[in-house]
Structure formats: C-alpha cells, structure tokens
Amino acid sequence: DLVVPHRLAGIRVEGQDLLLQPRAAPDRALDVDTVAHHDRRRAAAALDPHRPSYAPALSGLADALTQLTVYGFDTSPGVIERAREAAQAAVRADPLLGEAHASLGRQQVAGGTWDWEEEERHLKRAIELSPGYAPAHMWRAEILMARGRVPEGSAEIQRALELDPFS
C-alpha cells in the first residue's frame, strides 16, 4: 500500500502527482526545468486553491514565480503580484505551513515593497513552524545581512548550510 504524507491526504490523485515531484531548490541556477517546475505547481494549485492540503502547491508557485522574476526569466508586469497572491493564498489555506510564511516573507522584499519588518516576521514564523526548512534560514540571513545584523545573519546562513549543504 502507498503511504501518502499527511499534507497530501485529501488531494485528488492528479494533484498528488504534481506535488510529489521535487521542489526546485530556491536560488539555485535556473533553466528550462524551472519553468516546467512553475507550470507543475501552477497546475497543482489550480485544482483547489482553498483547501489546506493545497498550500504547499501555492507556496511552491509563489517561489517559482519569484525566481522567474528575480533572475530575469519573466519580468512581465504582474508576475511578482501573482507570486504575492499565491503566497498569501498559501498562508490563508494553511497558516501553520512554514513554507507558506517563508514564501510570503520573501515577497516583502523580492516583490519590491521593501517591508523588512514584515519579511522578517514571516520568516521568523516560518522557522518556528518548519525549523528544518533551509530556504527560510537562507532568506532570513539575506535580510539580516542587508540590515547590518551580520552576526545574526551569519548564524542563519550556517544553519541553512547545516540543513542543506547545497543551499
């Protein structure tokens, strides 16, 4: 018998297939696979965006859209706003999903609002909920360093590297 992770319980089979495909590591080199990853996440999120079990797809969609914009693969108007909307929907769908808070936190700066406090609040919440999620530590380190809080930022980078040496 196939054991389905609890976050995938209740998702139609086609959604599970899309969500079980590996999540592209944020901030790694982008290529055609990243665009395909974005398309898979968008398809999974579109199946039912209001159910808590779809929050991981919405969070992944937000991250993929952000990556496409930040790295210049898609700079068309509205892309980062769609990323922000997906991150907000992920938090609404499952407020206890750390990855969703990390996605929303990242939007505060990557999306151009430059709300450092709000970004840090969401990233701290992400780390509280999902302490093993390396990207949250990495993104928090970036804002801490940018704000001159180097010792804290260094500690977060170290934690991210311990969790995922390839991050």
**Whole-angstrom distance, CA of residue 40 vs CA of residue 20:** 10
pLDDT at site 54: 81
Alpha carbon dihedral 130, 132, 134, 136, in 10-degree steps, equals: 20
**Residue 66 host element (H or E):** helix 55-70
* Gyration radius from the chain CA atoms: 15
pLDDT at site 80: 87
pLDDT per residue as tens digits for the range 66-113:
888 888 888 887 888 899 999 999 999 999 999 999 999 988 777 777
Angle at the Cα of 14 (from 79 to 47), degrees rounded to 5? 45
pLDDT at site 148: 95
Going by the DSSP 8-state scheme, the letter that residue 23 receives in this structure is P
Which residue type, as a one-letter code, is found at position 156? Answer: E
Model pTM score: 0.71
**Whole-angstrom distance, CA of residue 136 vs CA of residue 142:** 10
What parts of the chain have a pLDDT lower than 50?
1-32
Question: In the structure encoding, which two tokens stand for residue 98, read together?
Answer: 């750390």
pLDDT at site 147: 92
pLDDT at site 164: 92
